[in-house]
Amino acid sequence: MKILRYLFLPLSWLYGFIIILRNYFYDIGIFRIDNVAVPVISVGNITAGGTGKTPMIEFIVRYYMRQNKKVAVLSRGYKRTTRGFRVVSDGVNMQGTPETCGDEPYQIAKKFPGAIVLVDENRVRAAKIAKERYNPDVLLLDDGFQHRGIDRQLDFVLIDGAEMPAEIPLLPAGIRREPISALQRADLVILTRTSAVDETLKRKFIKYTQAPVASIDFKPKRFFELLTGKEVESSEILNASYVAFCGIGNPISFKKILNELGIAILDFKIFPDHHRYNQSDLDNIKIMYEETKAQRIMTTEKDAVRLSSLKTSVVFQSNAFVYIEIHTVVTSGEDILTKLLNDAVSKTGR
């Protein structure tokens, strides 16, 4: 693996040069940045992989909806089977499937029926349609840090608390999407899966950005049966044994949550991120389930969304599949975060 990384380093240098040049063209106005006359908040990262963007988007959606704000979420709809602009939810009715819309946008739309959720690889087009059709109070740009074609009030950059991006090579040798100097564009650096931000962590970022640093963690909230949607009591969950699986950006974080809960995991299978499950996958999971003599099967909410269109009931009894819903907890910097969120909409009179 290290040998391959060294072989890819020249490509990483070329990639880095292209990214620096692209950002420079945006900075001096050669590349256009559109203002869509709606407060825009981008939630993104500087590395590829699971830093927790979806639960952070959900946190912000919930925050604004509690203030009776009309929220629109824009996503690319990663790994969907369609292209172009699609409405996932107009705030009243849901449209499409996880396959046609993408698992993350579909999950957000399902969890927040009053939110407008749109997908389009052309973010500027989607933002303009959102403004014209729905006139939202705030627009959330999912995975938007590198999509500079839309002017925004806030850039939130999520970084895994166990990582230091400066030590990670650029793509393709590593998983960093931009030079570390890109953090200068951030309005708030959010360390994820971290109980608190100490001074040592702050000092790691101070030479790269003047943005404040906050931290969040992801905690289990509720458990549900996949087939029935019935909530399962925590006491019932803890008294059973499981096989678990997931296809998310950071599978180890899911396993860590289960271990911290004290859930008995007899086997654990990892699928690729955004994996599109098929009946063969279900058959293999069933074999693992039967061979271990586990009582139930545990997965993530995002995986449950992707499994929802399969005929899972043909393979498993109704209470076999359980998924976990997590929620975002701000562990430090909550005052900074809420002030930024409030100011983003109040400065525009919304």
Q: Which CATH architecture group holds 2-212+333-346?
A: 3-Layer(aba) Sandwich (3.40)
Helical spans, DSSP H, in the chain: 2-28, 53-65, 98-101, 103-111, 123-134, 199-206, 234-238, 251-261, 279-292, 301-307, 312-315, 334-346
- pLDDT band for 189, please (50, 70, 90 cuts): very high
- pLDDT band for 350, please (50, 70, 90 cuts): low
Domain regions of the chain by residue span: 2-212+333-346, 220-327
CA quadruple 309, 314, 315, 319: dihedral sign: positive
**CB-based contact 346:138 (threshold 8 Å):** no
Q: What is the pLDDT of residue 318?
A: 72
Residue 188 has pLDDT above 90, yes or no: yes
Which long-range contacts does 13-18 make (Cβ < 8 Å, 24+ apart)? 13/170, 15/170, 15/171, 15/172, 16/170, 16/179
What is 220-327's CATH number? 3.40.50
**CB-based contact 220:244 (threshold 8 Å):** no
Q: What is the pTM of this model?
A: 0.94
Q: What is the pLDDT of residue 316?
A: 76
Residue 277 has pLDDT above 90, yes or no: yes
Q: What is the pLDDT of residue 297?
A: 96
Q: Which residue has the higher pLDDT, 108 or 203?
A: 108
Residue 349 has pLDDT above 60, yes or no: no
- pLDDT single digits (tens) 157-177: 999 887 777 778 899 998 999
Q: What is the pLDDT of residue 310?
A: 78
- pLDDT single digits (tens) 2-58: 676 767 888 999 999 999 999 999 999 999 999 999 999 999 999 988 899 999 999
Task: Report the percent of the chain where pLDDT is more than 70.
Answer: 95
- pLDDT single digits (tens) 49-96: 889 999 999 999 999 999 999 999 999 999 999 999 999 999 999 998
